[in-house]
Structure 1
């Protein structure tokens, strides 16, 4: 609520603005946003950077994290183009999960569904002290923690996300392997701590 959700909105704007200035990302990156509170919903379908419009975001209710993971798996199946003999498909998506709380539903059921689809690297962000990093560590090896949920820290996180997406886009353009680990990404800023 308050400053943190406003900072997330500003962070999304910063992310999109940065990616629009990167010729590699402009040609290869697409974004989608799934929000989860009392219900999980896709607020922006998979959209190319040039056409992306930032959605209104609100923080209310509970934390339906498992429902969000199921929806994410469904949207990957529906929106990410698969390679066929006739066409070259999309690379596996980079997934950034940001939460400031603890799941209030069966997150393990959602995670089981997500494991059935092909994803690229999953990066989870625990924003503030109420987020449970132990649950996030069960979903991905790459968990970062923001010591505070203030606007400067959240902005630093989104700048790092932007740099990470740009790195992935450059690898796509150069025909290199996909981003598969933290070592393939730019180093996180001081405000973003890697959880070991």
Structure 2
């Protein structure tokens, strides 16, 4: 099955040579995400709504539909770190996955898995002669990592190395008051970390979709500057 998936991915790069915008969502689905917040809503329920909106809205853009490639890695749940979806364009998957909350918060392991997947995907682009934009890694968590401190330091170090080399853009997002922004901040020397405003997942993923769509309409190698004033709809600034 793994070999057939690899062949399918290579065939897709041949049949659809559109320049790619790789986006990896690294999402906390630990047990605390099921806790009810205001109006009885839980973070996991709103995360599900937001991710589905992101898939649906991005797939509706006639360019981003074939340009954006989304992968999803979760940490928590029943299998600790899970690759829910490898990189696929949204013409192949318009609806997005569904998450359930359980388990601890092995964030470092999930970030390292995401970096590995991004490296492998960039190599595939190069092998196939397909241009790509600087990858985006979105890291969302509502707590403190349960990862080994040494592994956490490795994940932070490898991420920062790629950020400083302009090989990746990282958005660490804290969910709720218990998210440790001091740790999240260390993953992103450029943008730092932001705390989600309430449970405004849909606002965040709508902004992400719009940003991906704008990127897909530019030229690979062109510098994309994000308008930080747009963060106000979803970030507790």
> Which range, TM-score by smaller chain?
0.7 to 0.9
The answer to whether 1:192 aligns with 2:235 is yes
Q: How many residue pairs get matched?
A: 186
Written as runs of structure 1 = structure 2, the 5 A alignment for 1:38-187 is 39-52=80-93, 53-80=95-122, 81-83=124-126, 87-105=129-147, 106=149, 107-115=152-160, 119-140=167-188, 141-142=190-191, 143-149=193-199, 153-172=200-219, 175=220, 177-179=222-224, 181-183=225-227, 187=230
Query: Whole-Å Cα distance in 2 between the matches of residues 27 and 186 of structure 1?
Result: 28
Q: In structure 1, which of residues 13, 34, 48 is the aligned counterpart of residue 73 of structure 2?
A: 34
Q: How many Å apart are 1:42 and its aligned residue? A: 0.9
- What SS does the corresponding residue of 1:165 show, helix, strand or coil? helix
Q: 1:116 to 1:188 in 2, by over 3 A?
A: closer
Bigger Rg, which one? 2
**Runs of 5+ in structure 2 lacking a partner?**
1-33, 37-41
- What SS does the corresponding residue of 1:101 show, helix, strand or coil? coil
Query: Whole-Å Cα distance in 2 between the matches of residues 154 and 79 of structure 1?
Result: 27
**Runs of 5+ in structure 1 lacking a partner?**
none
Paired residues of 2:160 and 2:187 also in contact (CA < 8 A): no
The C-alpha deviation readout for 1:142-167, integer Å capped at 9, x for no partner, is 22211323xxx111111111112112
Q: How many Å apart are 1:5 and its aligned residue? A: 0.4
TM-score by length of 1: 0.83
The C-alpha deviation readout for 1:101-159, integer Å capped at 9, x for no partner, is 1111132122234456573211111111111111111110322211323xxx1111111
Supply the RMSD in Å over aligned alpha carbons: 2.3
